[in-house]
């Protein structure tokens, strides 16, 4: 450690306490800083560079071609579709997750027997691997043997093949994503609900406010900041969703459920077109940056501290 190198009996130590303190600080944060520089900062710079090349494993090329990849992407109908579906997927999912997460939190905050059990199983969707959740639902939605089409048939007398229709596949993907991640929202909202002072409700009860009025006048205003913060966080985070889409629809039918992340996977890891994949990566990062910045600005305005 630094302490061992500092000579004790010297009139003018070669290193002053403030400097030594700073060195110790640097030493402690060094592992993580090196990790992040090596596996995040450098790769981003490298992706930015690759996006300006025609780097491709199969054609063996790797020359700078300027903005050619971006120009090609601008004319790419499929990419526009991917951007559009990414936004639909993320916004649709987040909106439903907010509503359902709040409803589940309210349910888990009510008093009933077996509440501890209900709170435990609420963590299951959060805990299981996304790829397993994707396959489980792909199996449940199977055209021939799936349980969900069978139930729909029993109730509505209609045989559906959810993953073979573009619209139903998109809807299924959003609903499965809501199933997977709304419980996480519910956990956070439940903690928020528990932090609302009990006497506020008591006072409202004395004043004769109904359950709904109490929710509207007390609960909701108290947790709106939490709702917005979580919504922002989920939007940024889910822009990068990959496993669930890869497992449930893999972009199909056709290209109906291709998102930017899936497109990067296809270009980069299936077709080995590193240049194109990197350009799409830059588009995704730009999207994340714009949404994230809007979120940060909002946070600053509300003076929410990180």
Partner 1 sequence: MITPRSRPRRSPDQAAPWGLYALVALFAVIVLIPFYWMLKSALSRPDDVFAVPPQYLTPPTLENFGRLAEQVPIVRYFANSIVFATATTLVTLAASFLAAYAIARFDVPGRNVLLLALVISTALPEIVTIIPLYQVLRDLHLLDSLLGLTFIMSSVLAPFTVWVLVAFIRQVPYEIEEAAVIDGARLPEIIWRIVLPMTAPALATMAVINFVNAWNNLLYPLAFSSSVQSKTLSVAITEIFQARSPFGRPWELISSLGITMMIPVVILAVISQRAIVRGLTTGAFK
Q: Which of residues 220-239 bind partner 1 (CB under 8 A)?
A: 226, 229-230, 233, 236-237, 239
**Which residues, listed in sequence order, are joined to residue 135 by a DSSP beta bridge?**
none
Residue 42 makes contact with partner 1 by CB under 8 A: yes
Specify the residue, 131 or 200, whose C-beta has the smaller distance to partner 1.
131
Closest approach of partner 1 to the CB of residue 172, in Å: 13
Specify the residue, 78 or 132, whose C-beta has the smaller distance to partner 1.
132
Other beta carbons less than 10 A from residue 104's beta carbon: 20
Binders of partner 1 in range 259-288 (CB under 8 A)? 261, 264-265, 268-269, 274, 277-278, 281-282, 284-285, 288
Residue 158 makes contact with partner 1 by CB under 8 A: no
Closest approach of partner 1 to the CB of residue 58, in Å: 14
Contact partners, residue 77, CB within 8 Å, separation at least 6: none
Q: Which of 97, 101, 246, 258 binds partner 1 (CB under 8 A)?
A: 246
Residue 247 makes contact with partner 1 by CB under 8 A: yes
- Nearest Cα neighbor of 153 from 166, 143, 168 is 143
- Nearest Cα neighbor of 59 from 227, 272, 242 is 272
Residue 132 makes contact with partner 1 by CB under 8 A: yes
Closest approach of partner 1 to the CB of residue 245, in Å: 11
- Exposure string (b/e) for 180-193, b if CB count within 10 Å is 16 or more? bbbbbbbbbbbebb
Rg value, the chain, Cα: 26
Q: Which of 104, 169, 174, 193 binds partner 1 (CB under 8 A)?
A: 104
Name the one range near partner 1 by CB under 8 A: 7-15, 45-53, 88-96, 161-169: 45-53
Residue 123 makes contact with partner 1 by CB under 8 A: yes
Specify the residue, 80 or 269, whose C-beta has the smaller distance to partner 1.
269
| C-alpha dihedral, 83 to 86 to 91 to 96, nearest 10° | 160
Q: Provide the mask over 58-97, with x wherever binding to partner 1 is found by CB under 8 A and - wherever it is not.
A: ----------------------------------------
* Helix axes of 166-194 and 220-238: crossing angle, nearest 10 degrees: 140
What's the helix, strand, coil split of the chain in %, to 5? 75, 0, 25
> What span, in angstroms and rounded, lies between the C-alpha atoms of 228 and 211?
23
Residue 204 makes contact with partner 1 by CB under 8 A: no
Using CB under 8 A as the binding criterion, the count of chain residues that bind partner 1 stands at 97
Binders of partner 1 in range 170-189 (CB under 8 A)? 179, 183-184, 187-188
Q: Which of 5, 16, 25, 67 binds partner 1 (CB under 8 A)?
A: 25
Binders of partner 1 in range 135-154 (CB under 8 A)? 135-137, 139-140, 142, 144-147, 150
DSSP codes joined into one string, 88-123: HHHHHHHHHHHHHHHHHHHHHHS--TTHHHHHHHTT
- Nearest Cα neighbor of 281 from 58, 86, 33, 37 is 86
> What span, in angstroms and rounded, lies between the C-alpha atoms of 289 and 15?
41
């Amino acid at each position: 450690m630094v302490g061992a190198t500092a000579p004790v009996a010297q009139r003018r130590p070669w290193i002053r306490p403030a400097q030594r303190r700073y060195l110790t600080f640097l030493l402690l944060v060094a592992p993580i800083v090196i990790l992040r520089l090596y596996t995040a900062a450098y790769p981003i710079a490298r992706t930015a560079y690759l996006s300006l090349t025609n780097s491709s494993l199969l054609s063996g090329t790797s020359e700078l071609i300027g903005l050619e990849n971006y120009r090609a992407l601008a004319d790419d109908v499929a990419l526009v579709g991917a951007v559009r579906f990414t936004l639909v997927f993320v916004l649709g999912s987040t909106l439903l997750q907010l509503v359902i997460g709040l409803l589940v939190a309210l349910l888990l905050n009510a008093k009933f027997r077996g509440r501890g059990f209900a709170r435990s199983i609420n963590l299951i969707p959060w805990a299981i691997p996304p790829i397993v959740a994707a396959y489980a639902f792909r199996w449940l939605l199977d055209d021939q043997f799936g349980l969900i089409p069978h139930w729909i048939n029993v109730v509505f007398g209609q045989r559906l093949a959810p993953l073979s229709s573009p619209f139903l596949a998109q809807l299924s993907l959003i609903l499965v994503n809501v199933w997977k991640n709304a419980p996480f929202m519910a956990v956070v909202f439940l903690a928020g609900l528990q932090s609302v002072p009990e006497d506020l409700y008591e006072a409202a009860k004395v004043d004769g406010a109904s359950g709904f009025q109490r929710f509207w006048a007390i609960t909701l205003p108290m947790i709106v900041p939490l709702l917005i913060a979580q919504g922002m966080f989920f939007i940024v985070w889910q822009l990068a969703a990959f496993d669930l889409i890869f497992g449930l629809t893999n972009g199909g039918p056709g290209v109906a459920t291709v998102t930017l992340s899936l497109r990067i996977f296809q270009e980069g890891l299936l077709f080995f077109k590193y240049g194109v994949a990197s350009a799409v990566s830059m588009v995704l990062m730009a999207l994340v940056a714009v949404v994230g910045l809007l979120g940060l600005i909002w946070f600053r305005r509300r003076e929410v501290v990180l």
